[in-house]
Amino acid sequence: MEILAVIVVVLVTLWVIGKWKGDPDPTKMSDVWLANRHKSESAWTGRFARASLERPRGASLEKAYERRRAYMKQIEGELARRGISNVSAYQTELASEELRNEMRRKLPAVWLRALADRAYAEVWKAGKVRGDSDKVCHESAILNVFIKRYEEDAGAATFPLDEMIRATRWEAMPFILLPRSTAKEAVAEYLVWREYPDKAKMEVLHGAIDNLLSHLKQNNDQETLDNLSSKIFAYIPWTRLLPNRD
């Protein structure tokens, strides 16, 4: 009983302190905190409004409702000041991000395939809007798949874009040379293979490598063919898929 009494006293004390201090200052809270608080306040005021249609509420609840609405306006104003004018869209974006993070933890191969698909599609569509050729759109989209994957890791986004493109161009080459219809699946499986080899569709990857070798042979690029087996290209993971490699 004594422990229960202590717990009750602590909870009452915390409630009193919270009432005395009031709501947190929106200007001192993070974007995510504000969005989540706005969501919880919106849920409460929504329930109150629906219940009030069935039965009138007392003055104290009406006052609480108005206070909550005013606080939501403060949050909306602070988010707008930070460039987030559509709170609902931002909350949806956060929910999607949370779902992607959950997928990354539990289904990493599925997450990588989804990342590759999104990264390719966003640059392809942007290029077509600009009027770029299919070839330019396809190459940029494949490179973006690698860039987006690197950006998911801490610190990767600090590299200048042109440096990231130069660093990834040769790794992306087998997939740039593939037709768009097969390249999207192949580059996604490559991302999976790099991190979870047992979950990748190897026949798709071998097809991409075979296509690269055929392209080099058709263009009489013997120097590159020779270099593929040298230390020059040793840093590229897909060289481990070349014939006569372990």
Phi and psi at 225, nearest 5°, equal -60, -40
Residue 24: DSSP 8-state:
P
Instruction: Return d(Cα 119, Cα 110) in angstroms, integer.
Output: 14
CA distances from 154 to 91, 92, 195, 228, 238 (A): 23, 24, 16, 30, 23
pLDDT band at 45 (very low <50, low <70, confident <90, very high): confident
Entry pTM = 0.59
Asked which of 24-33, 159-168, 227-236 is least confident by mean pLDDT, the reply is: 159-168
Q: List pLDDT tens digits, range 209-224.
A: 999 899 889 988 888 8
Letter for the amino acid at 97? E
Q: List pLDDT tens digits, range 91-144.
A: 777 776 776 677 667 778 888 998 999 999 999 999 999 999 999 999 999 999
Q: Cβ(233)–Cβ(227) under 8 Å?
A: yes
The share of the chain scoring above pLDDT 90, in percent, equals: 28
Q: Cβ(165)–Cβ(147) under 8 Å?
A: yes
Instruction: Return d(Cα 12, Cα 18) in angstroms, integer.
Output: 10
Find all residues with CB under 8 Å of 243, minimum gap 6, and list them.
213
Annotated domain spans of the chain = 2-96, 107-241
Closest among 231, 197, 194, 228 to 210, alpha carbons compared: 228
Query: How high is the mean pLDDT of the chain?
Result: 79
What the block records as the tokens of 238 is: 């897909």
CA distances from 218 to 101, 160, 206, 214 (A): 43, 35, 18, 6
Letter for the amino acid at 45? T
Does the pLDDT value for residue 20 go beyond 50? no
* Predicted local distance difference test score (pLDDT) of residue 185: 93
* Predicted local distance difference test score (pLDDT) of residue 194: 93
The alpha carbon of residue 134 and the mean position of all alpha carbons in its chain are separated, in whole angstroms, by: 26
